Amino acid sequence: MTLLINPTTTNTTTTTHGRHPHKAWWKSAAVYQIYPSSFADTNGDGIGDLPGIIAKLDYLHKLNVDVVWLSPIYRSPQKDMGYDISDYRDVDPRYGKMRDLDALLEGLHNRGMRLVMDLVVNHTSDEHPWFQESKQDLTNPKADWYIWRPPRYISGVRCAPNNWESVFSGPAWTYVPARGQYYLHLFLPGQPDLNWEVPAVREAVYDVMRFWLDKGVDGFRMDVINLISKVQSFPDAPGEGLQSGMDYCANGPRLHEFLREMRRCAVEGYDVLTVGEMPCVTDEWEVLKAVGRERGELDMVFQFDIVSVDWGSGSKFEHRQFQPKVLAEVVNRWQTFMIENDGWNTLFDENHDQPRTVSRFVDRKYTDSDYETRAKVAKLLATFLVCQSGTVYVYQGQELGMRNCPKEWPIAEYKDIETINYWNKVLEERGGGDADMSDVMAQIQLKARDNGRTPMQWNDTAHGGFTTGTPWMRVNDDYTCWNAALQTDDPNSAYSYWARMLTFRREFCDIVVYGGFEMLTGGEGGVIAYRRKGYVGGSEKTAAIVVVLNFEPRSVGWKLEEGRFAKKVVPDVLLGTYGTTVFVEQGMLILRPFEAVVLDACV
């Protein structure tokens, strides 16, 4: 027989497991990432802008966001959506003026919120004055500010200094006749890499950072920061043809020296957040070198184990089926390691470079057209993320459960240079013309960065209320029935659940943010369950919660004894995606499709 339980939510506030860790405002903060081009447009040019962000601050405040992180808004030719910066000290006119940024800062600070800016200093735009000077000749004062190398000649033919491939395909070197040399660009030719070996370069970067901190900015997200130190011999990578050079660039020989110097010269004395993006690194000890509390480098980093759980062996466009067991293994490894070694995690599964999780971490056939199921999945994933130890990052639209681009969209609707280059590369390999590209399209529909860049869906008016003009990128076709206006006042919506989760995180900060972590069920049968335990309010009293997540589209059972709930028939439900009503049968918690529950546990 099934028992129907309607427990009363408890209000116990709890803290960490085994010790009282160092606390900081950025550890308990919820950070909301805004991709400015796609957030809100006020002047009708089809591109989001700073006044649009200002107009939505109350929306973010109601969501219980503490920090807003802006993807780049600096002057840029936009070859890589602003990650190619031509002026670090000015706002790109497409987004507004410096006074708009000042107004945004004031609006956030007045609401008790903070602003984090993107810092892109592995490379600049090729239109930046520094590069324009550097490329002139070998005698220019900035001649060594970028990474230049002479050509090599093979059978009398001029060739690049090595066989490295750009992240966006093609050679990672471009020849400049005026210098008779090649410059390195790990990304686009329009994104030349700065030479961090030169002290004047580093000081110029630190001066930029101090400029923004003195304006009141509350920290930086540092783009591909672990690529700033390269192996100076620039050897060929093993293999025929073009090969990735990341083994010689990611976490290079002087990285930690540079990061310590950056904190000492640019950040010390400011109470700010520093988070570095660190691709191509999976070793926990290597990451700890950057985020260990006594290291004096970064507060935390983005590493990509979670967002690559469904990557194949070759690249992200080679898909492998998502498995909860693989996800649980990644979570258990990083949660346990950072807690035991006094490091700090970032908690994220979406950003401007990632597809939407409701279309990715479950089969999208369940979420594309069944809106009730999509809301359940969005809530499940919110519970999964927010209840871990680390700083939470929410990407715009994630709080609504926005989905990937519709399958019906042709390749012409995709705008990202990475997507376009990949498509063209494979098309050329297949002979062009009418080659069958259906398998490539299927991977793009799953993994392309474009999936996270469709404009925000504010309401059911034209273009989802994002703009009165023609949007720079098409708005997802489901905006008429899936938008913020429908969700903000609906207590059962994904948005309202995210708001409750972030409130819960504040109220249970000592255990959810600072508590210990124990994996109870590692994805078996589609269930992930973990236990968090910590001290109460700085005392020696402890309390615990158990988080149980069903990633299956069907009901499954989970043994309550796994959670150690003493003799209770069922523990109190603190939060649940189906409300606080749960089903129990013969010692089993019966989890409904895509259900998540947070349970009050015994210590």
The residues annotated with a catalytic role in the active site are 223, 277
Single out the residue of 404, 233, 212 nearest to residue 319, CA to CA: 404
Q: Residue 159 belongs to what H/E stretch?
A: strand 157-159
Residue 186, SS3?
coil
Q: CA 591 to CA 578: how far, in whole Å?
A: 10
Burial of 557 (C-beta count, 10 Å sphere; 0-12/13-18/19+): middle
Q: Which residues pair with 30 in a beta bridge?
A: 392
- The answer to whether the CB of 114 falls within 8 A of the CB of 66 is yes
Kindly write down the DSSP assignment for every residue of 104-115, as one continuous string. Answer: HHHHHHHTT-EE
- Reading phi first (left if > 0) and then psi (alpha if -120 to 50, else beta), residue 433 is in left
> Taking the CB of residue 304, how many other CB atoms lie within 10 A of it?
18
> Taking the CB of residue 147, how many other CB atoms lie within 10 A of it?
25
Q: CA 505 to CA 29: how far, in whole Å?
A: 9
Residue type, 149: R
Q: State both tokens at 27.
A: 């550890």
> Taking the CB of residue 401, how many other CB atoms lie within 10 A of it?
27
Q: Which residues contact 547 (CB under 8 A, 6 or more apart)?
A: 383, 384, 387, 529, 530, 531, 532, 596, 597, 598, 599
Per-residue exposure over 81-98, b if at least 16 CB sit within 10 Å of its own CB, e if not: bbbbbbebeebbebbbee
Residue 532, SS3?
strand
φ and ψ at residue 378, rounded to 5 degrees: -60, -40
Residue 62, SS3?
helix
Per-residue exposure over 30-47, b if at least 16 CB sit within 10 Å of its own CB, e if not: bbbbbbbbbbbbbeeebb
